[in-house]
Structure 1
């Protein structure tokens, strides 16, 4: 890829443009894109035009959005698609049984990346949304993913985020050992004071977490033990299907 005068590769600049968009800000002006991507305005205009001509961005009403071609390409043959297809029947069963939001996530670049969320009218507050990211050590799904992560992934994460993790959990290795002992994680009020998050791992053949299933319930709910039991049953079923299929995995 050709470099810019600053030494940036073209691919790096394109990725920064695409990463400028968020779930809460899906539509941006070119000036905003240039600022977020760290590009001169002229370069941003030119690259946005090029990406729009390929359907990767969409111009509308003076703004720019991600193009549908990105969605098309991502859903053709990705590990995330395979993982979602395996887990979705179990998520749907949980959603129907518990009448609460259910979600599927993976550990990616030191964050919890949400692959799927099934909503439910009147369910507890839930900050997860598809393609959104959440902090690892402040979510039940993230803690499950850490507890069952390969040793090098866990040690790397703790080395980079030790201060925040210890502030939240104290003896983090004791907390993670307890999650492995029980096979699930539950935490009150991590992202919302009124809710409890519960999560269980989807395991590969070596016993490492490929993904996590999560449910959010009202804090103090008497149904939490039943929720955890149903969640763990669903996660075990999805784990068996994953292992039979060859463990689709998204890079940590």
Structure 2
């Protein structure tokens, strides 16, 4: 069992994780419903976060305090993954013409940590810090296909998507296909008309350290286009792993 201080820190993170770019202001009831924590616990944690400047109260709602910006610069500067991946993400955008992004896993979700927007008029617009479910979209499929812990976490968080035996069978078929070809393609799983292609960025031990993805409208990123760009996404993801030192260069001679 975690020490009391560790439990409090974990719950404070749960509260802060409730805030997103789409919903930057939340009421105390919103926080309770999103975390599932008791009202007294939420009130105590919110009070502490207010005192530390991590939350700010505006009338009856709360927003994340600007103090967190102090940590963003050293976080990016200290991340070797982001330092290495940025030019590859931009190159993938330029080669495919679609918005490209790099995701890392956080429990049953994936977080966009690097992005490059397409130059087309109609595009997929993601933003750094965006939190998305694992069980929808090509990037999530990459984590689930190559990491059993990710698959288990996704199953616990969103069982309704794969509640039937037929749905679970189809999911395992899809994940096996991802493992065989090295990249994933999904059509409208998270949003109607939005398709995506992704590939895992291998870390030490073979588990995905991240997932590299492109997203675009179905009129451009259809199955035929996915077959063309899928190997490109996979090669770029592996090139990031090579640059990180996670994959020997001779294993990616074709990148």
TM range (shorter): 0.7 to 0.9
- Deviation track 1:181-227 (CA, whole Å, cap 9, x = no partner) reads 11101111212332321001101243221110110133253543442
CA distance in 2, matches of 1:105, 1:130: 9
How big is the shift at 1:96?
A: 2.4
SS at match of 2:90: helix
Partner of 2:253: none
Partner of 1:250: none
With over 3 angstroms needed to count, the CA separation of the structure-2 counterparts of 1:240 and 1:60, relative to structure 1, is same
CA distance in 1, matches of 2:161, 2:85: 31
How big is the shift at 1:2?
A: 7.7
Query: How do residues 34-183 of structure 1 correspond to structure 2 at under 5 angstroms?
Result: 38-40=38-40, 44=43, 48=46, 50-59=48-57, 63-77=61-75, 81-122=79-120, 124-126=122-124, 128-149=126-147, 151-155=148-152, 157-158=154-155, 164-165=161-162, 168=167, 170-183=169-182
Partner of 1:240: 242
Larger helix share, 1 or 2 = 2
- Number of aligned residue pairs: give it: 237
Work out whether residues 188 and 219 of structure 1, in 8 Å CA contact, stay in contact via their aligned partners in 2.
yes
CA distance in 1, matches of 2:89, 2:179: 22
Task: Compute the TM-score of the two structures, normalised by the length of structure 2.
Answer: 0.74
How big is the shift at 1:173?
A: 2.7
Cα RMSD after superposing both structures: 3.6
CA distance in 2, matches of 1:24, 1:87: 26
The runs of 4+ residues in structure 1 deviating greater than 4 Å are 29-38, 46-50, 59-63, 77-80, 155-163, 166-169
Deviation larger for 153-162 or 104-113: 153-162
Q: Kindly indicate whether structure 1 or structure 2 has the higher relative contact order, using CA contacts under 8 Å at least 6 residues apart.
A: 1
Unaligned runs of 5+ in 1: 4-8, 246-252
CA distance in 2, matches of 1:159, 1:103: 26
CA distance in 2, matches of 1:230, 1:130: 23
Partner of 2:251: none
- Deviation track 1:1-54 (CA, whole Å, cap 9, x = no partner) reads 989xxxxx654653444234233210235675577664359x83x765653443
- Deviation track 1:55-103 (CA, whole Å, cap 9, x = no partner) reads 3223457753212322322542479933222211100111223232111
